[in-house]
Structure 1
Amino acid sequence: MRKKDVLISGFMLFSLFFGAGNLIFPPYLGMESGTHFIAAISGFILTAVFLPFLTIISVSLSKNGLLSIGDRVHPVFGIVFAIVIYMSIGALYGIPRASNVAYELGFLQIVSVEGRLPLLLFSIAFFGLTYLLTINPKKVIDLVGQFLTPILLLVLAVLCVQAFITFDYTDAEASEKFQSAPFLKGFLEGYFTMDAVAALAFGIVIINGLKDKGASGKKELIRGTISAGMIAAIGLVMVYLSLGWIGRVIPHEAPISNGAEILVLASQQLFGYSGNLLFGLIVMIACLTTCIGLINACGRFFHEIYPRYSYKAYVLIFILIGMAVTNLGLNMILKVATPLLVLIYPVAIVLVALSLFQHFFGESRRMYVYGVSIAAVFSLYEMLASLNLKMEGIQDALSVLPLSTNGLAWTTPTLLAAIIGYGLDLFQKKII
């Protein structure tokens, strides 16, 4: 395995993570955090970069990726959870969201059109290009890592360098939510990117890509995947710091409500009308690379578990589903997908954490069963709450738990349950 292949794989992984959502979160955090920028962006990087990186490591250490991670709870749970992960971050959310954001924040910055027909025509063109770039799984890493990612990084560099040269630092008061515990607020902003879930799928993309490049043997694959993860992580940290800093120092008079508005304003202030073209290009490339990676991951996974249909057939299926869901509109996509993501995210984090723990301290079946079960109960309640089905008695009981006001009430009970499970298996000498 050549160093060049690892570098290209790292660029590929960077592009997979760096979708439009990751583009617009840091600038808004930078603007809102004010003088607490360093603490806030540090918390953001911890959960938006370090946690996905740990997930990549976890996937590389597992024999069969996400499937084997879930199997430690139960084989049926393993396959069901894997399917839910791939469908939620893929066809039902991640893929159509990438396409829709590419249209709303990218294409519409360049071309002024209205109505539903332009979205349909754009989605046909967007997914047509995605299909052509995804149809050969062995060339996906080269196409994205060797060509699209350098273009994306170059365009981002033009924006960020010009911002560093032009904008001056001035003191700015933090918004109310960042005035106390800015590190924790940044931590939660990174948590809600949900990239740790996406990393469960992206890790397999990199592993399969390295296999296609000739990597063989478990140690070589683990080393290559972790190295690619480090390259991606370094790139993400640099870009998040730069984008966050733009939000921190950009001069503005009118109120700004999101990160997209910050980057549009920055592009216009720095480059005039051509700034719209620059920002639109950044968004569309970021969304395209993410979409390519998601379709590749989903196609390979479903071909592996149900090989009756070819990889190309699954690519076409996910392209068609993604195109159909895209045309429902971004608001509808978010409305439908949010409850599902709330349900799976804590469970995914627990599985990743326990799989890393077992690599050093041994596998405990009860640790997985107890920990995941408690996380699933809390996730189910949070999903119902996201559908406005809160139960006041339960809500009052949960409010006494640490971090409950931040949506992290599940962490302490889950940790205790996992410790109890591990302790019981250790006592009965069932640690593998």
Structure 2
Amino acid sequence: MEKLSSQKLMLIGLTLFSMFFGAGNLIFPPFLGSLAGSHTWTAMIGFGITAIGFPVLGVVAVARSGGFYELAERVHPKFAFVFTLLNYLSIGPCLAIPRTASTSFEMAVVPFLGNDPFPAAQFLYSAVFFAIAFAVALNPDRLTQRLGKILTPCLLVLIVVVFAGCAVHPPGTYGAPAEAYRSGPLIKGFLEGYMTMDTLAALTFGVVIALNIKAIGVEKESVVVGETIKAGFIAGGILVLVYGALAHVGAVTGGAFGPADNGARTLNQAVRYLYGNTGLVMLAAIFFIACLNTCIGLISCCSKYFCTIVPGIPYRVWALIFAAVSFIISNVGLTRILEISVPVLNAIYPVAIVLILLSFGFRDGMRWRSVYICSVGFTGVVSVLSALEQAGIILLPKALLMLPLYTMGLGWIVPALAGMMVGILLKFFINKEN
């Protein structure tokens, strides 16, 4: 087969969308809408840049570079190993995979436990959840059949039902923005997009998508790359529509009931108003399907990667290890996992963004290695120091405050640009010397 048919390409795009669309993707758009109110769509532009634009560019960058490690290797082989490992651990067993179980438990089970919750409920739920995810992930080349054809269409139908209810019978109108969104809603939305973790996930999902394309019958490597890129844009288009729908639901719900503590409770308010107890069942199904899809995709791509660095351990064993470790961590609870997520993501997300953008402006990594080293290096120093400060470890407070945009959470941008300029100057200086 030379290339995929339109129908098969759409299935691949739906599969990639389902891998992206998990816990954070459900929680953060409606929460943003409930807080931003009349500034929702300005904030959503910023959110879309980091939660849709960069993930799609990440899929393209990795596909054109031949892999995540190959892209990171443009900085240095040691950096490639460390950064790739940190990325997989973050979107894998340390943060993202446990979050899928914790979030779906909060929405699919807790509302039905009443005032006397069963103490072992989360333990039993997460055990079943990861057992299902592990069983499906054992055949990563069949994810298109299981996610793209079955689970994802069900998920989209349920989301459409919730959105349609708010469109026909809205609980309220867009209210006044909360303090965090009164000034600079674009930047606030930009930073909130970090929490979906999709830019990090995009750097790893490409290998699983390529595997599924090959399983359909495409053999030529250049065609696999092209079809992977097309799938990325399809997934991005669906994310635009779904995020917009969820943000609107959050905005009209927040306008009626006031901002909730998180996006999950915002959706809970919306479906209770629209459909009563039936709505709670619907919302439970949405969260369970979305989180299970992402969990399966993450277990698959993480296991594939660790097979390359420890080839003596087979894929199935790695999948079992990640499912088991994630099961243990998930029982810590959603709140604690989210608390840990923020400084970790602020440390590595800017580096991932810079690496992706450099791949488009400086495609020849060997020729422009100095640009990659300086730009990624400057970005990494600032983002790590900023993350440590958020964790309560303050090393250079006065120096960091001097950086433009630092108080807005974007202190890494100027160092990244400065690093790029220094790298370009070094490149021409070295050429002149030679």
Instruction: Name the TM tier (shorter chain).
Output: over 0.9
* CA 1:399–1:57: 2 relative to 1, 3 Å: same
- 1:360 Cα deviation from its structure 2 partner: 7.7
- 1:193 Cα deviation from its structure 2 partner: 2.8
- 1:335 Cα deviation from its structure 2 partner: 4.1
Q: Which runs of 5+ in 1 are unaligned?
A: none
**Amino acid aligned to 2:24:** G
- 2:17 is aligned with 1:53: no
- 1:271 Cα deviation from its structure 2 partner: 0.5
Partners of 2:195 and 2:421 in 1: CA distance: 26
- 1:361 Cα deviation from its structure 2 partner: 9.4
- 2:160 is aligned with 1:188: no
- 2:375 is aligned with 1:371: yes
Alignment-derived partner of residue 30 in structure 1: 33
* CA 1:62–1:274: 2 relative to 1, 3 Å: same
**Amino acid aligned to 2:152:** T
Alignment-derived partner of residue 412 in structure 2: 410
Aligned residues: 427
State how 1:21-420 maps to structure 2 within 5 Å.
21-63=24-66, 65-112=67-114, 114-167=117-170, 170=173, 172-250=175-253, 252-253=256-257, 256-359=260-363, 363-391=367-395, 394-420=396-422
**Amino acid aligned to 1:236:** L
Alignment-derived partner of residue 15 in structure 2: 12
Residue by residue, what CA displacement relative to the aligned partner does 1:199-249 show, whole Å, maximum 9, x if unpaired? 111122212221222223333122211111111111110011111111222
Query: Secondary structure at the residue paired with 1:91?
Result: helix
**Amino acid aligned to 1:121:** L
Query: Secondary structure at the residue paired with 2:191?
Result: helix
RMSD between aligned residues:
2.0
Partners of 1:254 and 1:414 in 2: CA distance: 39
- 1:31 Cα deviation from its structure 2 partner: 2.2
* CA 1:421–1:255: 2 relative to 1, 3 Å: closer
Partners of 2:397 and 2:220 in 1: CA distance: 50
**Amino acid aligned to 2:147:** V
| Contact map agreement 2:172 2:256 (CA 8 A) in 1 | no
Q: Which runs of 4+ in 1 moved over 6 A?
A: none
* CA 1:110–1:226: 2 relative to 1, 3 Å: farther
* CA 1:377–1:171: 2 relative to 1, 3 Å: closer
- 1:168 Cα deviation from its structure 2 partner: 6.7
**Amino acid aligned to 1:229:** G
Partners of 2:168 and 2:364 in 1: CA distance: 47
What TM-score results when the alignment is normalised by the length of structure 2?
0.93
- 1:167 Cα deviation from its structure 2 partner: 0.8
**Amino acid aligned to 2:41:** I
The answer to which of 249-258 and 131-140 deviates more is 249-258
- 1:24 Cα deviation from its structure 2 partner: 1.6
- 1:105 Cα deviation from its structure 2 partner: 1.9
The answer to which of 27-36 and 257-266 deviates more is 27-36
Partners of 1:252 and 1:356 in 2: CA distance: 44
* CA 1:419–1:133: 2 relative to 1, 3 Å: same
* CA 1:194–1:363: 2 relative to 1, 3 Å: farther
Query: Secondary structure at the residue paired with 2:94?
Result: coil
| Contact map agreement 2:194 2:349 (CA 8 A) in 1 | no
Residue by residue, what CA displacement relative to the aligned partner does 1:292-334 show, whole Å, maximum 9, x if unpaired? 0000001111112322121111111111111111122223333
- 1:60 Cα deviation from its structure 2 partner: 0.6
- 1:2 Cα deviation from its structure 2 partner: 2.3
- 1:427 Cα deviation from its structure 2 partner: 4.3
**Amino acid aligned to 2:212:** G
**Amino acid aligned to 1:265:** Q
Residue by residue, what CA displacement relative to the aligned partner does 1:40-76 show, whole Å, maximum 9, x if unpaired? 212211221011111111011112x111112111112
Partners of 2:195 and 2:134 in 1: CA distance: 29
- 1:388 Cα deviation from its structure 2 partner: 0.5
Q: Which runs of 5+ in 2 are unaligned?
A: none
Residue by residue, what CA displacement relative to the aligned partner does 1:346-387 show, whole Å, maximum 9, x if unpaired? 221221111222228984111111112111211221232122
| Contact map agreement 1:155 1:278 (CA 8 A) in 2 | yes
* CA 1:31–1:326: 2 relative to 1, 3 Å: closer
What TM-score results when the alignment is normalised by the length of structure 1?
0.93
